[in-house]
Amino acid sequence: MITFDFPQYRKLANDKSFYKIVDERHFEEKQCIGKQVFSLEITAEQYPEIIRIKDMLACVDGFIESNEEEYDSVGGKIESVD
């Protein structure tokens, strides 16, 4: 089993969503829609959410590695979606 040092950073290959994976059950997402950037905090409580984090960490289904600098550079003004 692979162990990760957290946080880990991933993005979608289309550069529309960026992720900061805080641990195996929590991640933050910055989603670019037009000129706006929306920020989401997700807690994985159901099986599909848990699998999504595993997929992000494994870089499958369109997820690729990113870094803290790229994640932090996304969007000047962040709008939170609850």
Q: What pLDDT, in 10s, does the model give residues 29-60? A: 999 999 999 999 999 999 999 999 999 999 99
Q: Label residue 75 by pLDDT band (50, 70, 90).
A: confident
Q: What residues does each domain of the chain span?
A: 8-77
Task: Based on DSSP, count helices (H) and strands (E) in the chain, helices before strands.
Answer: 2, 6
**Exposure of 62 in the CB half-sphere (CA atoms within 13 A):** 9
For the entire predicted model, the pTM comes to 0.86
